[in-house]
Amino acid sequence: MAQLLDGAGKLVWVLLRSVLRFTFMFINNCVAIPSYCLYLLLLQPLRIWDSSVFWHIEGVMFKWLLAMVSSWGWVAGYTVTEWGDDVRPISEEEAMVIVNHQSTGDVCTLMMCLQDKGTVVRKMMWLMDHVFKYTNFGLVSLIHGDFFIRQGKAHRDKQLVYLKEHLDKYYHSRDRKWIVLFPEGGFLRKRRETSQLFAKKHSLPHLTHVTLPRLGASHVILKTLGAQQENGSVGGDASMLNTTANKRKGLQWVIDMTIAYPKARPMDIQTWIFGYRPPTVTHVHYRIIPSSRRTEGGAFPADDPRPHVAVPDPVVCFRLRLHVVQRPPVHLLLFILSALMRRESLLDHWDSLRIGW
């Protein structure tokens, strides 16, 4: 009887805390998002007068909004412990970030761990599923210049054309640096079976923790942004591009980011909102491979000769790889495929440990 009462008490407390958290976040959204939109509306004359200052102010407010979302997880005890190399030195350089996709909580976790990386958050561009356009944060992302992509064969070719047009119009004119995308094209639980059937049919490796990527968006990004090294000309705001075209080096880095959740249970947005899961420490590992360590005369290195570092108390782990983009896109696409194999091995390793999970 005592155990029953104790369990009921805990349930009541979890429900009460969830209601309080939801109420707080609802008020947060009702105040912060309209304020963001109203300030930018009032600043439209500044956008005409000096667009660079306008987008600087917009980026600062955008970072504040993402910090608000990050605070939801921090208050619930979902924290981040970072280790490895420091990525701050490349925060002002152009990079493509590829992340494995397991749930809606992946975006929230990215918002948290990138908050202290200089200007990355306010100058980054997101590529996400069009469904996110209809969420509470959809209007903010539209104003910021993020791209919402539709999945499926019926939309694939048109979406790649729209993506190129979007990059030409907004990436340089708004001084974007990091572009974040999920090349797997959907959540792991939804695509795993289809990916495994495709792999079996075409004699490809059997993957459990990741799925075979859809490389169309990655190819378009590399072809569009990497070309700036050669011709230095893009579409968009000509008045701003004339002053910056000669300074841009094009896409310099690819960041391979791997997310692993305890017991292979992804943390979704509902967890961040209601906070019903126990406090979790998220380990983030950064690894930078400078251009001097590239394999001469070939594609990107298959692996790094440095030994892997063991992480204490591995609850959730991230792994990031940075590579210099100075090769034709085909080599980079091969690199993404090999990175998936390393990612699969990493996730399988963490899943087999189950220490503190």
| Band of residue 204 on the pLDDT scale cut at 50, 70, 90 | confident
Residue 289 has pLDDT above 60, yes or no: no
Which percentage of the chain shows pLDDT scores above 90? 23
User: Tens digits of per-residue pLDDT, 228-280?
Assistant: 444 444 444 544 444 444 456 777 777 777 777 777 778 888 888 888 888 88
Q: Is pLDDT larger for residue 162 or for residue 289?
A: 162
> What pLDDT does 211 receive?
73
**In this structure, what token pair is assigned to residue 76?**
């619930």
- Summarize the confidence of residues 23-51 as an average pLDDT: 94
DSSP code, position 272: H
Q: Is pLDDT larger for residue 151 or for residue 195?
A: 151
**In this structure, what token pair is assigned to residue 320?**
């990031």
User: Tens digits of per-residue pLDDT, 133-191?
Assistant: 888 788 999 999 999 988 777 777 788 899 999 999 999 999 999 999 887 776 766 66
Residue pair 98/258 in contact (Cβ under 8 Å)? The answer is no
Q: Total domain count for the chain? A: 1
Residue type, 79: T
User: Tens digits of per-residue pLDDT, 10-25?
Assistant: 788 888 988 999 999 9
The Cα–Cα gap between 349 and 344 comes to 9
Give the residue numbers spanning the domain of 287.
2-353
The Cα–Cα gap between 49 and 67 comes to 29
> What pLDDT does 176 receive?
93
> What pLDDT does 7 receive?
67
| Band of residue 37 on the pLDDT scale cut at 50, 70, 90 | very high
> What pLDDT does 3 receive?
67
User: Helices marked H in the chain — which ranges?
Assistant: 2-42, 44-49, 51-75, 105-113, 138-144, 153-166, 188-201, 216-226, 238-244, 269-274, 329-353
Residue 31 has pLDDT above 80, yes or no: yes
| Band of residue 99 on the pLDDT scale cut at 50, 70, 90 | confident
Q: What share of the chain is helix, strand, coil (3-state, %, to 5)?
A: 50, 15, 35
User: Tens digits of per-residue pLDDT, 290-346?
Assistant: 433 333 333 333 344 333 434 444 444 444 445 444 343 456 556 666 777 777 776
> What pLDDT does 315 receive?
43
- Summarize the confidence of residues 90-107 as an average pLDDT: 83
User: Helices marked H in 202-327 — which ranges?
Assistant: 216-226, 238-244, 269-274
Q: Is pLDDT larger for residue 61 or for residue 227?
A: 61
First to last CA, the chain: 30
Question: Angle, nearest 10°, between helix axes 105-113 and 51-75?
Answer: 110
Q: What is the 3 state secondary structure string of 126-142?
A: EEEEHHHHHCCCHHHHH
6: left (phi over 0), alpha (psi -120 to 50) or beta: alpha
